[in-house]
């Protein structure tokens, strides 16, 4: 059986490939990447490296040829671009007679009103309509998404948020990657939906975990969206990005990422790594200058 991971030189994809290679022979693993030169290290280990550009469907036909199961990792970009790219990938998978698609979606994609959910609703619908058996891996928020705020705190800033009392089921990128690898290489996952979420925490509870790592107080600054946007601009966040980060705070405040689930245990045999442990590694890397 031939397994393929798209976006395999990205942070999530590379972790998923590494996890697959612990149990799957390299000759049974393929990767689809825009620039094969960046995957030469995988080719040297026996992985089948293929060029696949989501903006060039003809390359996807070749990338997916002879593949049994695909891990489709969502792309980056604006919503319209991502929906177009994902649909092109699903259509190519159908033409190639791929037998299974695992797709990295977002928490509660079917009813979430966070702006990112539009992409995932459209992609999940395209996969369902294709008739290809699927598993939707509805990832909650990555702990690593908070690296900028953690870095600011290390520099003496308060923990800044406009998310109010909204809770988030943070989990590490590694746990999401390992869950994806388990579904891709496993059996019995056809037409399933997994809500992958860590223990939901408020911003205050998350900051308290950081206090435990740093051994000092972390002041909290709860502000409204307008103030948050102004501070982001002042901190150097590019103006086109500011509405996005504000929308994320609003989405958290409205409860879109407050998801309790035992699906990590189903796939990994354990809960997601607690936030404190992930933060400890993150702070260590930041302080050593590796991030």
pLDDT category at 289 given cuts 50, 70, 90 is: confident
pLDDT category at 188 given cuts 50, 70, 90 is: very high
What pLDDT is stored for residue 179 in this prediction? 98
Asked if the model's pLDDT at residue 97 lies above 80, the reply is: yes
Q: What are phi and psi of 201, to 5 degrees?
A: -130, 150
Asked if the model's pLDDT at residue 272 lies above 80, the reply is: yes
What pLDDT is stored for residue 291 in this prediction? 52
pLDDT category at 171 given cuts 50, 70, 90 is: very high
pTM score of the predicted model: 0.96
What pLDDT is stored for residue 8 in this prediction? 97
pLDDT category at 222 given cuts 50, 70, 90 is: very high
**Mean per-residue pLDDT, 255-262:** 97
**Mean per-residue pLDDT, 253-259:** 97
Q: Tell me if domain 3-139 and domain 141-171+197-259+273-291 are identical in fold.
A: no
**Mean per-residue pLDDT, 263-286:** 97
pLDDT in tens, 138-165: 999 999 999 999 999 999 999 999 999 9
What pLDDT is stored for residue 153 in this prediction? 96
The domain 141-171+197-259+273-291 is placed in CATH, from the list 3.30.1510.10, 3.90.25.10, 3.40.50.80, 2.30.30.90, at 3.90.25.10
Q: Which CATH architecture has domain 3-139?
A: 3-Layer(aba) Sandwich (3.40)
How many other CB atoms are there within 10 angstroms of residue 290's CB atom? Answer: 7
List, in sequence order, every residue forming a beta bridge with 4; answer none if it has no partner.
Answer: 30, 70
* Residue-averaged pLDDT of the chain: 96
Local structure of 272: helix, strand or coil: coil
The residue whose two tokens read 């946007």 is 229
Asked if the model's pLDDT at residue 219 lies above 80, the reply is: yes
Residues sharing a CB contact under 8 Å with residue 239, sequence separation 6 or more, in sequence order = 233
For the chain, the first-to-last Cα distance in angstroms comes to: 37
Asked if the model's pLDDT at residue 290 lies above 70, the reply is: no
Domain ranges of the chain: 3-139, 141-171+197-259+273-291
**Mean per-residue pLDDT, 269-289:** 95
How many other CB atoms are there within 10 angstroms of residue 225's CB atom? Answer: 15
User: Are residues 89 and 97 in contact, defined by beta-carbon separation less than 8 angstroms?
Assistant: no
**Mean per-residue pLDDT, 41-60:** 97
- Reference 51, options 70, 69, 32, 64; nearest CA is 32
Of 219-223, 241-245, 287-291, give the lowest mean pLDDT range. 287-291
């Amino acid at each position: 059986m031939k397994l393929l991971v798209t976006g395999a030189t990205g942070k999530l994809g590379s972790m998923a490939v590494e996890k697959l290679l612990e149990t799957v022979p390299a000759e049974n693993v393929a990767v689809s990447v825009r620039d094969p030169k960046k995957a030469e290290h995988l080719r040297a280990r026996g992985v089948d490296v293929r060029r696949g550009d989501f903006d060039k469907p003809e390359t996807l036909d070749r990338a997916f040829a002879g593949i049994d199961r695909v891990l489709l990792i969502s792309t980056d970009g604006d919503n319209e671009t991502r929906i177009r790219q994902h649909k092109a990938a699903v259509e190519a998978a159908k033409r190639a007679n791929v037998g299974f698609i695992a797709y990295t979606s977002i928490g509660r994609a079917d009813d979430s009103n966070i702006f990112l959910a539009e992409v995932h609703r459209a992609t999940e619908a395209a996969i369902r309509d294709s008739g290809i058996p699927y598993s939707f891996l509805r990832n909650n928020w990555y702990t690593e998404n908070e690296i900028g705020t953690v870095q600011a705190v290390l520099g003496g800033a308060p923990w800044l948020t406009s998310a109010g009392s909204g809770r988030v089921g943070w989990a590490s990128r590694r746990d999401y990657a390992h869950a994806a690898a388990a579904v891709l290489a496993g059996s019995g996952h056809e037409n399933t939906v997994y809500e992958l979420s860590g223990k939901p925490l408020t911003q205050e509870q998350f900051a308290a975990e950081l206090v435990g790592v740093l051994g000092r107080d972390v002041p909290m600054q709860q502000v409204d969206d307008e103030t948050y946007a102004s501070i982001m601009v002042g901190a150097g966040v590019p103006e086109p990005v500011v509405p996005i980060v504000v929308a994320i705070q609003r989405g958290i405040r409205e409860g879109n990422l407050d998801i309790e689930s035992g699906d990590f245990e189903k796939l990994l045999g354990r809960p997601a790594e607690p936030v404190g442990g992930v933060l400890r590694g993150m702070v260590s890397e930041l302080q050593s200058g590796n991030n």
